Amino acid sequence: MTLAKHLGIALAAAVVIWVLSVRLDAYRDYQIAEVAAYVVAVAGLTVLIGLSGQISIGNGAFMAVGAYAAALLLLHLGWPIELVFVASAIVAAAAGAIVGVAAARLRGPYLAGATLMLAVALPSVADKFQSLFGGDQGLALNVTTPGFLGPTFPPTRWLAWLAAAFALITLVLLANLTRSRVGRNWRALRDDEVAAALAGLNVARLQVLAFVISSACAGLGGALLAMWEASATPGEFTLTLSIGLLIAAVIGGLGSLLGAVWGSLVFVLVQGYLTNLAASHGLSSGASASVPVAAFGVVLIVVMLAFPAGIQGGIRRLLGPAAPAAAAPFNLLRRHAPASEHQEEGTT
């Protein structure tokens, strides 16, 4: 039942994206692809933070792993692009498993610091092994439009379709996972780790699983982003990107997959808009690029202090308590959620 509902929503979204991609110009198609790449990575992060209660400021590093894996597979083995994307998610998941085992022993600020370190440290690997990773220049990742679409088919539309398809598949898979036993277990240990352990849940295993899934999403998102940029370079996957994912997840509403979509949309569109606005007011390119950074800093603080449930929380409130499947009210923000909410979550 749940699966059918999620598939239906995804199908409707696919139709909307298809219409948009055909109607809009090449630049908008390009933006659809960018947003879709972000959605994948942000969805993984929002599940990690909002459901399992772990934080990562280093998911940009897993995006880099996925992007480089995709570029290497395409360059050296010439795999078909769809297979390359799946493989990039698997490679990043493996990296996430290694980090996740360490992360499962860490809490709150320690975990945030360790993953922050990961985001800062990993790009230097590309510098160290220049022959394999291409140093600062990175690796090319060019996707050709398949022949059956005809020679006049705009390449940006193909990028948009590819990225959107993977984003929708990811969202459907995650939506089902979060409504499953695993998702409920995550919520349980997020709200009270000791109670979850006493109830027989394997806390460490659940936490590692969340980390693996989140990094797989980050890896796929990174590969899509590299496809969008036509290259995988260390400069793409900075600490700023990792924090950008966090911003998008918080703006959308932590723990909500639809929120990940809103957050990514806002993040990508507002970033471009503010940069252009600042540049048109005569700021230098470096200063213009800093305007959205400062703005998102303020937004992050204000949302966290005043609207911790984000955009999706606002939408839920507008739709009222009677809205169907008003699923898990986001309660990470309280140390101990009332028991009634657990029961509500357990019904689907």
Partner 1 sequence: MQEFLEFTLEGVSSGMIYAAIALSLVLIWRGTRILNYAQGGMAMFTAYVALIVINHTGNYWAGFVTALAAGLVLGAVLERAVVRQVAGKAPMNAVIVSIGLLIFIEGLAGIIYGAQYRSFPPAFSIDGLSIGSVALGISRNDVFTAVAVLAAAAALAVAFKYTRVGLRMRATAFNPGVARLLGVRVGRVLTLGWALAGLIGALAGMLVTPSTFLYPNSMDTIFVLGFTAAVIGGLESPLGAVVGGLVLGVVLSYAGGYLGSALVEIFGLGALVLVLMVRPAGLFSAAATRQV
344 binds partner 1 (CB under 8 A): no
Among the residue ranges 136-144, 163-171, 172-180, 303-311, the one whose residues contact partner 1 (CB under 8 A): 303-311
Nearer to partner 1, 80 or 235 (CB): 235
Segment lying near partner 1 (by CB under 8 A), choices 138-146, 225-233, 258-266, 286-294:
286-294
C-alpha 246/C-alpha 253 separation (Å) is 10
* Residue selected from 188, 243, 248, 266 as contacting partner 1 according to rule CB under 8 A: 243
The one-letter code for the residue type at 347 is T
Give per-residue burial for 106-138: e unless 16+ CB within 10 Å, then b. beeeebbebbbebbbebbeebeeeeeebbeeeb
**Smaller CB distance to partner 1: residue 171 or 291?**
291
Shortest distance (Å) from residue 121 CB to partner 1: 4
- Helical H segments across the chain, by residue range: 2-23, 26-46, 59-72, 81-103, 108-121, 123-128, 130-133, 155-178, 181-191, 193-198, 203-229, 239-252, 257-280, 285-306, 310-319, 339-345
Please report, as residue ranges, which positions from 93 to 152 form the binding site for partner 1 (by CB under 8 A).
102, 105-110, 112-114, 116-118, 120-122, 124-125, 127-128
In whole angstroms, the minimum distance from the beta carbon of 293 to partner 1 comes to 3
Q: Residue 301, interface with partner 1 (CB under 8 A)?
A: yes
* Options 11, 15, 19, 304; binder of partner 1; rule CB under 8 A: 304
Residues 12-71 that bind partner 1 (CB under 8 A): 49, 53, 55, 57
Is residue 335 near partner 1 by the rule CB under 8 A?
yes
Q: How far apart are the first and last CA of the chain?
A: 9
CB of 7 to partner 1, least distance (A): 32
Indicate whether 334 belongs to the interface with partner 1 (CB under 8 A). yes
The answer to whether residue 10 forms part of the interface with partner 1 (CB under 8 A) is no
For CA atoms 274, 279, 285, 287, the dihedral sign is: negative
- The separation between CA 297 and the C-alpha centre of its own chain, rounded to angstroms, equals 19
Any contact of residue 290 with partner 1 (CB under 8 A)? yes
d(CA 149, CA 136): 35
Instruction: Report the residue from 24, 295, 315, 327 that binds partner 1 according to the rule CB under 8 A.
Output: 295
Enumerate long-range contacts of 88-92, CB under 8 Å, 24 or more apart. 88/219, 88/220, 88/222, 88/223, 89/216, 89/217, 89/219, 89/220, 89/223, 90/216, 90/219, 91/65, 91/66, 91/219, 92/62, 92/63, 92/65, 92/66, 92/215, 92/216, 92/218, 92/219, 92/220, 92/222
Nearer to partner 1, 290 or 348 (CB): 290
Among the listed residues 198, 298, 318, 322, the single contact to partner 1 using CB under 8 A: 298
Least separation, in Å, of the C-beta of 294 and partner 1?
A: 3
What residues numbered 173-202 form the site for partner 1, per CB under 8 A? 193-194
Using CA atoms, how far apart are residues 119 and 57, in angstroms rounded to an integer?
Answer: 7
What is the contact surface with partner 1 in residues (CB under 8 A)? 49, 53, 55, 57, 102, 105-110, 112-114, 116-118, 120-122, 124-125, 127-128, 193-194, 239-240, 243, 246-247, 250, 278, 283-284, 286-287, 289-301, 304-305, 308, 332-335
